[in-house]
Amino acid sequence: GAGFIVMPCNTVHIFLDAIRASVKIPVLSIVDAAVDAVAALPDVKTIGLLASPAVVKTGLYHDALAARGIETLAPNAEGQEAVREIIFAVKAGDKSAAQRERLLAVCGSLVERGAQALILGCTELPLLAGPDDFSVPAVDTLAVLADAAIHYARAA
């Protein structure tokens, strides 16, 4: 009896087309919601992406953002490994100041490389730091997906 599906996980969106093909109701996209939020930011042409290795490797956000004329920067190999470790630490219940500082350091590196805004492209990351903790705007993918779901439900 559901009217639509919301998947609060960025990585599973790698399979979005297959999921949509297997159901008869709409499936909202966390990627589309996040890209819309980034596109709404004034004068942002370069975004820093913090996400699981699978999301980064598949180009899930890179392609969607490029279609809007926005360049995507991912962390270097060391930074990406730190993001992976941070995600697993949060999943294990570690939301310590040390994990937060590691996240902020990776974000700072992306900003130094030219990121004008950030995508927190894993739903565990906002549990460590929010938009006000960064020197540039940050898009919380879970928050924008929740907003999209509310708007979709109200319009339905």
3-state secondary structure the chain: CCCCEECCCCHHHHHHHHHHHHCCCCEECHHHHHHHHHHCCCCCCEEEEEECHHHHHHCHHHHHHHCCCCEEECCCHHHHHHHHHHHHHHHCCCCCHHHHHHHHHHHHHHHHCCCCEEEEECCCHHHCCCHHHCCCCEEEHHHHHHHHHHHHHHHC
* Annotated catalytic residue, options 28, 38, 119, 122: 122
107 tagged catalytic: no
* Annotated catalytic residue, options 7, 9, 16, 104: 9
User: Which amino acids are annotated catalytic?
Assistant: 9, 122
